[in-house]
């Protein structure tokens, strides 16, 4: 995203009931099941969902007894999302498990042995980003797009009158106006939400308006003529009954809403030896700590890896002209020295070998805070900021 001057920028989010997010949730539920049984388990799970059908596929390496629990766990995930409809129900969906053992060739490259450290589970590039636009250090358009749907989610799950009649599938899209590179208000908001048969569109519009106005900062609401709710006029058939869903198809929703680069790899269903996931978390952690340390107002970090190789091939830092007397090349070296960026080092530092992933499957992997009493989303911590300030002589 251009971060200077006056412009409009748009990001979208989708709810946990969107077909692709249902698939992501089930894949991460499978991952959590294996990590509960063995923190060193290997999982690469892909899920397909469609009308009353779920298919699990991919590779795993872990305790044999876990496989027998996966269909029940998938049903529980669907139930928790809220699907008990004629076309997609946790009770009667046909769920097929086609997961098989991990490739020996991949295992040979990834596993540690003798003097060889554990290698990356695949080649690839990963990006992390942080900005002072919001308290979560996320870009404002994706931050508020997520926030609108999270509010509708909370109302629906808590039985709140404000969400009565809403169903799990929903999408949002927020366009913000930037002046001198800073967001100042919304120019349009689009929300489509699945609902019970017979609900009036005016009632749904009023419900959604409350969610939007309670999410956006005061005075940021768009003009009424640019506020679009269920533009097709009706949204009763939704979720996997309305459209097939696949794991990993909402990677921009998962990250920065298009405001920062994405390396291309999806997250859900992958254990943390896969740098698609763990290194993207590490890059976000480093970028957020750079901003939290007061070294810059914006920070983009790129990491690159080769399959079977433990150390990153490159570390790139871009402060987009907002650095506070910071040399980006020197900062890259300091970041590399401040955190072990091998797959094993990332997992240990961020404590990723735990069953913490089902909750990441909707409303973004970044900018999140743990539920009370939980110790997840560790990549959102800013504990490295004092170390970086000290290393930069601040």
Paired sense of beta strands 314-318 and 94-101, if any: unpaired
Binding site per annotation, positions: 18, 20, 46, 59, 102, 169-171, 243, 249-250, 266, 270, 274
- pLDDT given at position 290: 98
Q: Is 59 a catalytic residue?
A: yes
To the query of whether residue 77 is one of the catalytic residues in this protein, the response is: no
Which of the following is catalytic: 18, 42, 61, 143?
18
What's the token pair of residue 209? Answer: 């308006």
244 is catalytic: yes
Condensed to tens digits (0 to 9), the pLDDT of residues 187-237 reads: 999 999 999 999 999 999 999 999 999 999 999 999 999 999 999 889 999
Catalytic residue among 25, 146, 195, 250: 250
Task: Mark the binding-site residues for K(+), compressed into ranges.
Answer: 46
| Active-site option among 37, 57, 59, 209 | 59
18 is a catalytic site residue = yes
With contact defined as beta carbons under 8 Å apart, do 258 and 11 qualify? yes
Question: What pLDDT is attached to residue 376?
Answer: 93
Tell me if residue 270 is catalytic.
yes
Q: Which helix (H) or strand (E) holds 305?
A: strand 298-305
CATH architecture assigned to 19-110: 2-Layer Sandwich (3.30)
Residue 242 DSSP class: H
Give the pLDDT of residue 104.
Answer: 57
What is the three-class DSSP state of 235? Answer: coil
Tens-digit pLDDT string for the chain (394 aa):
667 789 999 999 999 999 999 999 999 999 999 999 999 999 999 999 999 999 999 999 999 999 999 999 999 999 999 999 999 999 999 999 999 998 655 555 555 544 445 767 678 999 999 999 999 999 999 999 999 999 999 999 999 899 999 999 999 999 999 999 999 999 999 999 999 999 999 999 999 999 999 999 999 999 999 999 999 889 999 999 999 999 999 999 999 999 999 998 999 999 999 999 999 999 999 999 999 999 999 999 999 999 888 899 999 999 999 998 999 999 999 999 999 999 999 999 999 999 999 999 999 999 998 777 788 999 999 999 999 999 998 7
Q: What is the predicted pLDDT for the residue at 116? A: 45
CA distance 126 to 271: 16
C-alpha distances in Å from residue 349, one per residue of 59, 265, 287, 330, 392: 26, 22, 15, 22, 21
Question: What is the length of the chain?
Answer: 394
Q: Where are the domains of the chain?
A: 7-14+140-237, 19-110, 124-132+259-391
**Which residue in the list 244, 306, 385, 391 is annotated as catalytic?**
244
- The pLDDT of residue 115 is 44
For the chain, give the mean pLDDT. Answer: 94
Residue in 143, 171, 277, 349 annotated catalytic: 171
Residue 218 annotated in active site: no
Position 106 scores a pLDDT of: 55
> Rounded to the nearest 5°, which phi and psi values hold at 279?
-75, -30
Residue 254 DSSP SS3: helix
Q: What's the 3-state SS for 33-61? A: HHHHHCCCCEEEEEEEEECCEEEEEEEEE
What strand order describes the sheet that includes 94-101?
94-101, 53-61, 42-50, 245-246
Q: Which residues are annotated as a binding site for ATP?
A: 18, 169-171, 243, 249-250, 266, 270
Please say if 288 is a catalytic residue: no
pLDDT at 164: 93
For residue 188, give the H/E element and its range.
strand 182-195
Q: Does residue 210 have an active-site annotation? A: no
Q: Which fold has domain 124-132+259-391?
A: GMP Synthetase; Chain A, domain 3 (3.30.300)
- Of the candidate CATH numbers 3.30.300.10, 3.30.70.2190, 3.40.50.850, 3.40.50.620, the domain formed by 7-14+140-237 belongs to 3.30.300.10
Binding site residue list for L-methionine? 59, 102, 243, 274
- For residues 286 and 379, give the distance between their C-alpha atoms in angstroms, rounded to a whole number: 8
Q: In Å, how far are 35, 36, 60, 66, 174 from 352, measured between CA atoms?
A: 10, 12, 17, 19, 32
- Residues making up the binding site for Mg(2+): 20
Is 124-132+259-391 the same fold as 7-14+140-237? yes
d(CA 141, CA 129): 14
Which of 16, 32, 46, 297 is catalytic? The answer is 46
pLDDT of residue 394: 78
Separation of alpha carbons 394 and 380, rounded Å: 22
Which residue in 322, 319, 3 sits closest to 182, CA to CA? 3
- Active-site entry in 270, 359, 365, 368: 270
Out of 276, 297, 318, 320, which one is annotated catalytic? Answer: 276
pTM, entire model: 0.94
Q: What is the pLDDT of residue 3?
A: 72
User: How far is CA 123 from its chain centroid?
Assistant: 21
């Amino acid at each position: 995203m251009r971060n200077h001057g006056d412009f409009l920028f748009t990001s979208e989010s989708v709810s946990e009931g969107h077909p692709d997010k249902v698939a992501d949730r089930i894949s991460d539920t499978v991952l959590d099941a294996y990590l509960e049984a063995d923190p060193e388990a290997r999982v690469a799970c892909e899920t397909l969902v469609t009308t009353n059908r779920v298919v699990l596929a991919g590779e795993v390496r872990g305790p044999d007894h876990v496989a027998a629990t996966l269909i029940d766990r998938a049903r529980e995930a669907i139930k928790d999302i809220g699907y008990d409809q004629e076309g997609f129900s946790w009770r009667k969906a046909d769920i097929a498990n086609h997961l098989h053992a991990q490739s020996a060739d991949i295992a040979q490259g990834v596993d540690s042995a003798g003097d060889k450290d554990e290698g990356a589970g695949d080649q690839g590039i990963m990006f992390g980003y942080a900005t002072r636009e919001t308290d979560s250090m996320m870009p404002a358009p994706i931050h508020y797009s997520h926030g609108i749907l999270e509010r509708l989610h909370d109302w629906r799950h808590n039985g709140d009158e404000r969400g009565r009649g809403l169903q799990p599938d929903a999408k949002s899209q927020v366009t913000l106006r930037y002046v001198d590179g800073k967001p100042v208000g919304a120019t349009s908001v689009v929300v489509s939400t699945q609902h019970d048969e017979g609900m009036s569109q005016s009632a749904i519009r009023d419900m959604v308006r409350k969610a939007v106005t309670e999410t956006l900062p005061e005075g940021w609401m768009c003009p009424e003529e640019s506020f679009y709710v269920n533009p097709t006029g009706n949204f009763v058939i939704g979720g996997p009954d309305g459209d097939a869903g696949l794991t990993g198809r909402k990677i921009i929703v998962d990250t920065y809403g298009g405001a920062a680069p994405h390396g291309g790899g999806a997250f859900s269903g992958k254990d943390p030896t896969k740098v698609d996931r763990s290194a993207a978390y590490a890059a976000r952690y480093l970028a957020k700590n750079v901003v939290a340390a007061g070294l810059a107002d914006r920070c983009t970090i790129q990491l690159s890896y080769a399959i079977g190789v433990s150390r990153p091939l490159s570390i790139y830092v871009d402060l987009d002209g907002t650095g506070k007397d910071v040399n980006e090349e020197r900062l890259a070296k300091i970041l590399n020295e401040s955190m072990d960026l091998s797959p094993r080092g990332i997992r240990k530092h961020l404590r990723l070998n735990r069953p913490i992933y089902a909750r990441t499957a909707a409303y973004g992997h970044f900018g999140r805070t743990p539920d009370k009493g939980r110790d997840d989303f560790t990549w959102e911590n800013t504990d490295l900021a004092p170390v970086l300030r000290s290393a930069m002589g601040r």
